[in-house]
Amino acid sequence: MSDTQRTAIVTGASAGVGKEAARALLQRGWRVIGIGRDATRCVAAEADLRAEAGGDFTMLRADLSSMADTARVAREVATLAPEIDALLNNAGGVVAERTITPEGFEATFASNHLAPFLLTQKLLPNLRAAAARRGPGAVRVIAVSSTGHEQSQGIQWDDLSFANNFVGGAAYCHAKLANILFTRELARRVADDGIVAHAMHPGVVASNFASHCDAPMQAYMESILDRSVTPAQAADTLVWLASAEEPGRSSGGYFHQRAELTPSAAAQDDAQALKLWQLSEAMVAGF
């Protein structure tokens, strides 16, 4: 790797938006390390993306609903990439039934919020190393959230695991709110390092996203397919946030189609963002 080549980490890179974001960065001459869960999709994506011009792509496998596996893959990434210019926390999803992971976390919250929180924490030294060399605003941490966050009135402090009245879509929207709150608090904490943090809404994406949803969520996704965009179109804003000059001039924003939007009132509550950060730290402290 040359001194000028930049390095990105993309979670959920085996399919959909993550794969297309990885492709676009490779086409720009970046080195990309992808993280995916499904073995078959990972093998296929690695072969496809390595065929791109330059093709400096590595795929790692991890189950991001597991904090132990998230910490393990973070160690692998840190060894492969001492300096990281962009961390794209793209992986996520929604499930039909309430599942508690072996570590005791509700799976939606674990994979959509705790995993990117832990991965970012583990890779901060590598991000800081890149920022020290690249200068303020060059290094980015991007979270893929959703307008679904607007459906959540706030973090369920007393029932993070949705033990009462679990609905897959509601748990997903709750986690997407957490993504924005995490981004706001991260932006505050890394400002002195010159690192930028933003969140984005990808739009309604024509992908396999809804394949594990419950029936109401699948019906809803089907009803809005006429508004859908391709994974490559959705990835455009993600790649722009990670690599373009303009997004490096601010931090803590929420974007869609390269335009900054105002998230819900709950997503702008900085006291709640700090509380969520502290709680998340405690939840992943053993990993």
Count each helix (H run) and each strand (E run) in the chain, helices first: 9, 8
Which residue in 1, 47, 49, 60 sits closest to 25, CA to CA?
49
Q: Which of 105, 117, 166, 172 is catalytic?
A: 172
Distances (CA, A) of 43 to 57, 184, 209: 12, 35, 19
CA distances from 50 to 9, 31, 47 (A): 15, 11, 5
Judged by DSSP in three states, 264 sits in coil
Q: For residues 132 and 113, what is the distance between their CA atoms, to the nearest angstrom?
A: 27
Give the C-alpha separation, 16 to 115, whole Å: 19
Alpha helices in 52-114 (DSSP H): 67-80, 107-109
Two tokens, residue 241: 């946030």
What are the beta bridge partners of residue 229?
205
| Helix, strand or coil, per DSSP, at residue 152 | coil
CB 35 within 8 A of CB 111: no
* Angstrom distance (rounded) from CA 49 to CA 68: 27
Active site residue 220: no
Element (H, E) at 171: helix 168-190
Q: What is residue 205's DSSP assignment?
A: B
For the annotated catalytic residues, the residue numbers are: 172
